[in-house]
Structures are given as C-alpha cells and as structure tokens.
Amino acid sequence: MATIPRNSRLSKIKTVSKPEQLALFGGQPAFSSRVHVGRPNIGDKARLYERLDDILERRWLTNGGPYVQAFETRVREMCNVKECVATCNGSIALEILIRALGMTGEVIVPAYTFVATAHALQWQEIKPVFCDVDPKTHNLDPARVEELITPRTTGIIGVHLWGNPCDVEALEEIAKRRGLKLMFDAAHAFACSHKGKMIGGFGEAETFSFHATKFFNTFEGGAIVTNDSELAEKMRLMRNFGFKSKDKVIYLGSNGKMTEICAAMGLTSFDAMDDFIASGARNYEHYSKHIARIPGLSVVPHDTSEACNYHYMVVQVDEALAGLSRDDLVKVLEAENVLARRYFYPGVHRMEPYLSLQPMAGLVLPVTEELSRTIMVLPTGDAFSVEEIDRLVNVVEEAVAHAPAVRAELERQSNA
Ligand code: T4K
C-alpha cells in the first residue's frame, strides 16, 4: 500500500461526517493546496539530469539526434510496429498523418474527444463530420459512422478514448468496404492493448500524445506509428520541412520534430513506466471499490484483462440517483481544492469554429451530449495516494448524502 507522498496536500481535518464540515459550507478544505487532474508523472530525476548533461556535452539538440532515435526504437518495440515517427506533440502527429494519408473533403470523427482531433482536420480545411459514440465505450459507434458516409468522405478517425480501444474490427470492415482511409488518434492509449495486440498497429497508422499531462510524458511530444514503411518515409520528410537531402525539398512540410531533451524525458519515462502503470492501477482499483458505494456514481471501466495505462480516472454521475449533478459535484470538489475536470465538455461540436460552421450537429449526437453533461475526471497518477483518494471519496459521499442541503447552498452562492 502506498504511503502519503512527502509533500502531502491532505489538510489536518478528520473525516467529514456532517455537511457543515464540507468546504462549500465554510469548513476547512480537504486538501491544503490544489490537486490537479493531469499532474505529470516524473521518473528518475537523477537519470534525466545525466541524459541532459550528455545532450549538452554532445551539442546535438534536435533534428533526429541519438536520443530521438533511441526513443523511436523503444516506441516501435513496445507497440510491435515497423515504424515510429516521433513528433513535437500529438497535434502535429495528427496533422502530418492526415496529410500523408491524403485525406480531403469530409472525415468522420467522434464529437466526444479533445478538440485537437477535429482541429487537425479543420486546420487543413477538411470538414470534421461529427459522429456519435457508444454510451458504454465512449468510442465511435460504427453503425452511426456508416450513416454519415457521403461521396465526399475520405476517411475515419477513431479515438481510443480514456485508453479504451475502439471497435477496431467494425471500423476496419467499414473502411475497407467503403474505400476509406482509417487512422486512430491514440493520444490516450499508449501502452494499451486490444485483443492482446498493442495499440499502434491498427488502421493505416495511429498517433500518440506524450504531453506533460499524459501518464507517460516527454514534456511535450507525440509519435505516429505504422507498419507502412512508405507512409512513414513520407511523414519523416513532412516532419522536417520536406527535406529529402541537403537543399532538396520534395514535399510540402512543416517542423514537427521532437527535440533531444524531450526524447531524454521519454526514455526516462520508459524506465519508470511499469511503476506509473502500477500506481494508476492501484488508484483505479481503490477508487472503483469506494465509489461503488455512492448512489448515482459509477466508474467508467477499463478492461483489466488487456494491457492498460490507467491514465484517466473517469466517473459518470447520474443526477437522478445522486441528487446532485456532475457540475454540482465539480463545484463541491473545487471548494475542497480538487480541480476535477469536465472532459470533454461541452463536446467539440459546441466549440468554435464548429458551432458556427455546423450549428445543427448536436441533433445527431445524443450520447455525446449526455456524456459531456455527466462525466468528470478525477485526479490520479503516481503522486496521488490512496489516502488522498479516501479523502476525496469521503467528501463526495458526504455531499451526496446531504444532496438537498448542498444543492440549496450552491443555489444560494450562485445568486449571491
Ligand atoms: N487527441 C486527444 C484525444 C487528446 O486528448 C490530445 C491532448 C491530443 C489529441 C493532442 O495532443 P497534444 O498536442 O496535446 O500532445 C490537456 C492537455 O494539454 C492535452 O495534451 C490533452 N489531450 C488534454 C486531454 O488535456 P487541458 O486543456 O486540459 O490542459 P491544462 O493546461 O488545463 O492541464 C490539465 C491539468 O494538468 C490542469 O489541471 C493542470 C495540470 N498540469 C498541467 C501541466 C501542463 C500540471 O499539473 N502540470 C503541467 O505541467 O488539455
């Protein structure tokens, strides 16, 4: 069992057992400083400093240096794929792959995702066609995908949301039958598997994000992985302005390169990856066990028989049973210094420029609308202990037990 981290944020209050002890009513907050979702996992700092020192000594800071090459090899090996193209972030990875696949016109994407998935298309003047998701998996619903295909459709982008794999086989079948390109935004799914096969090897290619807030980070970073070596070669050129050789540019390209320092962080994250996953799994089990006793709250499950990174701790709130809405609970937690996140509120289709360009999109997205209203993401990661989870769950349990009083107080505060 984990011990409380050295810099514990637990305040000195005992268990909350009366509503007036909740910070919402003026009680002492459960946490003495802010607790974030997405607090970075940090590996062995000494090892990172050694690597940084080596990079500085070599005076080779970017442009495909030895650390990036070593990082790409590790990713390739882990995903069991032929090719890895490391990038400066997950957004550029998406943009490069979309362009390299020749997607144009319309591409089908879930509306329930981080906005970057749609932006990567719109940025290249490709229309994201928003598709609804399955209420259980939160991933593209293949039956809805089929309905949205038009003569302008050139591709499908599945997102393995929360690290839970899409219905890959159904999407592959549709893409093949309708002659569409299929790629996956696997930003959440590094080190996860589907039917025993690592995410990374599905569709034409898949992209990862290694942003600071991901369970495995390179500060900023991303990668495209594929078994198609010709596609990979094209993307390597696109990542580096289209340079085939010195003075010879053969493609429209950008600057999507990962730096040596980011790759050094990535190698350091690899060293600690098993520990990151173990603490995520421990927290997932602990949260799941204790949240189960709160009426109206349910944990969005991971398939623990597959490889899983346990990065996101996702909870759905049924207001009718809990007596409080997701937004009420987020406010209760904020008062306690816990910044739970409403990912992915309000749905990409309700963000600009999509709201203006496609104002009616929500009409065919009932599940997306429901999830954006009811899902909250809670803190986890190697710096969040089971004692802290107990404190957080205790606060939520008390709030739900005294839902009418909490509701009245929230109402009073919003009218004040
Ligand atoms: N596709 C999908 C499905 C994605 O989820 C993402 C990114 C992408 C594509 C694009 O990949 P990248 O281009 O980002 O590599 C965060 C991340 O910035 C974003 O990477 C991530 N998805 C998204 C789900 O979450 P925000 O707007 O929530 O970030 P922010 O600044 O509010 O940070 C989140 C929390 O983390 C905060 O509570 C503060 C905390 N934090 C953040 C940073 C940067 C820390 O404690 N330390 C830190 O260093 O988007």
Give the tens place of pLDDT for each residue, 42-78. 999 999 999 999 999 999 999 999 999 999 999 999 9
pLDDT over 80 at 13, yes or no: no
Helices (H), 80-141: 90-100, 116-122
pLDDT above 70 (res 3) = no
pLDDT of 249 over the 80 cut: yes
Q: Is the CB of 110 under 6 A from ligand 1?
A: no
Residue nearest to atom 29 of ligand 1 (CA): 213
pLDDT bracket for residue 2 (50, 70, 90): very low
What is the mean pLDDT of the segment spanning 18-36? 92
Ligand 1 centre to CA of 71 (Å) is: 21
> From the CB of 337, is ligand 1 less than 6 Å away?
no
CATH number of 19-39+272-415: 3.90.1150.10
Is the CB of residue 70 below 6 angstroms from any atom belonging to ligand 1? Answer: no
Return the pLDDT at 6. Answer: 45
Q: Per residue in 170-210, pLDDT tens?
A: 999 999 999 999 999 999 999 999 999 999 999 999 999 99
User: Ligand 1: does its nearest atom lie under 6 Å from the Cβ of 36?
Assistant: yes
Ligand 1 pocket member 40 (CB < 6 A): yes
Establish whether residue 212 lines the binding site of ligand 1, counting it when its CB lies within 6 angstroms of any ligand atom. yes
User: Pairing mode, if any, of strands 153-159 and 106-110?
Assistant: parallel
Has residue 339 got a pLDDT over 70? Answer: yes
Question: CATH 3.90.1150.10 region(s) of the chain?
Answer: 19-39+272-415
Q: What percent of the chain has pLDDT over 90?
A: 93
- Listed in order, the ranges of the chain carrying CATH 3.40.640.10 are 45-268
Q: What is the pLDDT of residue 15?
A: 73
- 286-327 tens-digit pLDDT: 999 999 999 999 999 999 999 999 999 999 999 999 999 999
406 CA to middle of ligand 1, Å? Answer: 30
Residue 209 Cβ contacting ligand 1 at under 6 Å: yes
Closest among 379, 283, 395 to 332, alpha carbons compared = 395
Give, using CA atoms, the residue closest to atom 9 of ligand 1: 116
Buried b (16+ CB within 10 A) or exposed e, 323-359: bbbbbbbbbbbebbbbbbbebbbebbbbeeebeeeee
For the four alpha carbons of 292, 295, 297 and 298, in that order, the dihedral sign comes to: positive
DSSP strands (E only) in 23-93: 35-36, 83-87
DSSP-assigned beta bridge partners for residue 222: 87, 209
**Ligand 1 midpoint to CA 401 (Å):** 33
How far, in Å, is the centroid of ligand 1 from the Cα of 211?
6
Rounded to an integer, what is the distance from CA 303 to the centroid of its chain? 17
| pLDDT confidence of residue 416 | 87
- Distance of CA 341 from the midpoint of ligand 1 (Å): 11
What topology does CATH give the domain 45-268? Aspartate Aminotransferase; domain 2 (3.40.640)
The fraction of the chain above a pLDDT of 70, given in percent, is 97
87 lines ligand 1 (CB under 6 A): no
pTM across the whole model? 0.95
Band of pLDDT at residue 129, cut at 50, 70 and 90: very high
